[in-house]
Amino acid sequence: MDYRQYTVTDFLHDELFRKWIIHPEHDTTVFWETWLRENPDHRTTVEQARDVLLLIGPEEYMPTEDDKTEVWSRIAYSIRQAPERKRMFVSWRYAAAFAGVLIASATGWYLFNRPSPVMLNYATAYGEVRKITLPDSSVVRMNANSTLRFAMDASGKREVWLDGECFFTILPEHSNAPFAVHTSDVDVKVIGTEFNVNTRRVMTRVVLNNGAVRLKLNGEDQPEVSMRPGEMVTFSTKTNQLSRQKVNPADYNAWLDNMFVFNEATIAEVAAVLNENLGINIKIEDQELRKELFTGSIPMSGVEIFFKTLSRSLHVVIEKKDNNNYSIRRKKT
């Protein structure tokens, strides 16, 4: 079968696609993630089908003609009642996601009858940066090697569970419904703001671009931290270490432009970033070399340029073992 010819409706009735969304396993996940990388032009159609399937659940729902009329009248009413910004989003959402009458009816049935929250899952591979628009119109940019789970209940409360790194642009709902980002270390409470969250290396790092957020630190007797724009807060439940400092947010958000920016970072730290985001393994054979400092930027698609620069500035030999493995050692004098 040629999935490139599939519509949203076709995906909804495909057994392999349904299995991946409803009961994901390793083999099906690898198949669909590989297919999406090879067919990026079809990602929107796949995401629309996934959203609808998660909304209506695994059961088949075949609407009657009366159901169709009722659902569309209720959809039209909800659009007329929504504020202007919300109306534009809802109109687009229904137009894009409910391409067929079956999809429209089934999703309408869910929205008006099913109490469970909307649950959506997203993931990125090594070297992949992805932009997603959540059902509330908030925008999330996902860095490589990250997973995100989104939930929204009937009251409009929005929650995200993150493993990896994401940059959030959160829109406040007209009802001021809360938005929270959960990690293993903190709960980030926001209303409307832009910020970056990184959960790598046994800690959570939050960098605030604008707006205001409050951090509820996980663990007993931990304080609640209010952040201001330009601040970075790092906390780990395993080490119980909390730090807070003024930073330039652009340095920590550079991955949005497919760049890594370092300011007096050790070579070991640079190697860790490349491993986390690109899956590159760098063996540093000299322990003192691990402590050498590097300041500069590295394009995600041009790591070889960084290796050449490093080789000249630190007088080291960089050897490529295979596609993802490198070793670094000092030149012999």
pLDDT digits (tens, 9 = 90+) for 275-292: 999 898 999 888 888 888
The whole-angstrom separation of Cα 80 and Cα 109 is 19
Mean pLDDT value of segment 114-136: 83
User: Which CATH number applies to 116-246?
Assistant: 2.60.120.1440
Pick the CATH number of 258-330 from 2.40.50.1070, 3.40.718.10, 3.55.50.30, 3.40.50.12160: 3.55.50.30
- The residue among 70 and 5 whose pLDDT is bigger is 5
Whether 116-246 and 258-330 share one fold: the answer is no
Q: Give the residue among 259, 324, 332 at the shortest CA–CA distance from 296.
A: 259
- The residue among 95 and 165 whose pLDDT is bigger is 165
CB atoms within 10 A of CB 309: 13
SS3 content of the chain, % helix, strand, coil (to 5): 40, 30, 30
Q: Give the residue among 44, 61, 175 at the shortest CA–CA distance from 112.
A: 61
* Strand pairing class (186-190; 213-217): antiparallel
Structure tokens given for 72: 């569309």
The domain spans of the chain are 61-113, 116-246, 258-330
- The residue among 114 and 170 whose pLDDT is bigger is 170
Structure tokens given for 4: 């490139």
Tens digits of per-residue pLDDT, 18-67? 888 887 787 788 888 888 888 888 888 888 788 777 765 555 434 444 43
Could you give the percent of the chain with pLDDT greater than 90? 27
Mark 82-115 as b/e (b = at least 16 C-beta within 10 Å): eeeebeebbeebbeebbbeebbbbbbbbbbeeee
Q: What's the pLDDT at 333?
A: 65
Could you give the percent of the chain with pLDDT greater than 70? 78
